[in-house]
């Protein structure tokens, strides 16, 4: 299990763009399970559908990408200083995410190579999938 401070030691993101609160399970090279608590106090809710707040899809993608980067970093121990960049995203959004939800993220690698990787991603609220897709990453 990794807390927010542990996560900050692996990826460069900081508030307000650190989109993971905790990693609850990680098996190197196989999967990561993490979550983000969605709070009405987040700044983006002031301007994203005021009066009917929903989490922007781009931030759901960002949360999934950050989880994937943590998985790739932990799986590729010889590249601990490397940065991973998203190079391709194919995500389908199925349901809205609203304040009070806990966004649960599951990422599994399809392919891991020295130059990056491809990951299957899924975001859930409760037992319902809210977004799923595939992301490709390059390593620098």
- From residue 13, how far is each of 16, 31, 52, 81 by CA, in Å? 8, 21, 28, 14
Distance (Å, whole) CA 140 – CA 136: 14
Question: Residue 14 in contact with residue 28, Cβ under 8 Å?
Answer: no
Catalytic residue among 8, 13, 22, 48: 48
Per-residue exposure over 79-108, b if at least 16 CB sit within 10 Å of its own CB, e if not: beebebebeeeebeeeeebeeebebbbbbe
Q: Is 13 a catalytic residue?
A: no
Cβ neighbors of 77 (< 8 A, separation 6 or more) are: none
**What residues are annotated to the active site?**
48
């Amino acid at each position: 299990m990794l807390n927010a401070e542990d996560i900050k030691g692996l990826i460069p993101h900081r508030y307000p763009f650190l989109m993971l609160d905790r990693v609850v399970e990680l098996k190197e090279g196989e999967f990561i399970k993490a979550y983000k608590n969605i709070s009405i106090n987040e700044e983006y809710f002031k301007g994203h559908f005021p009066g009917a707040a929903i989490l922007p899809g781009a931030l759901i993608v960002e949360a999934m990408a950050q989880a994937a980067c943590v998985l790739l970093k932990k799986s590729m121990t010889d590249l601990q200083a490397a940065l991973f960049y998203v190079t391709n995203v194919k995500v389908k959004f199925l349901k809205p995410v609203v304040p009070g939800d806990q966004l649960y993220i599951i990422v599994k690698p399809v392919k891991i190579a020295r130059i990056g990787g491809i990951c299957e991603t899924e975001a859930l609220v409760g037992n319902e999938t809210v977004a799923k897709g595939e992301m490709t990453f390059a390593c620098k």
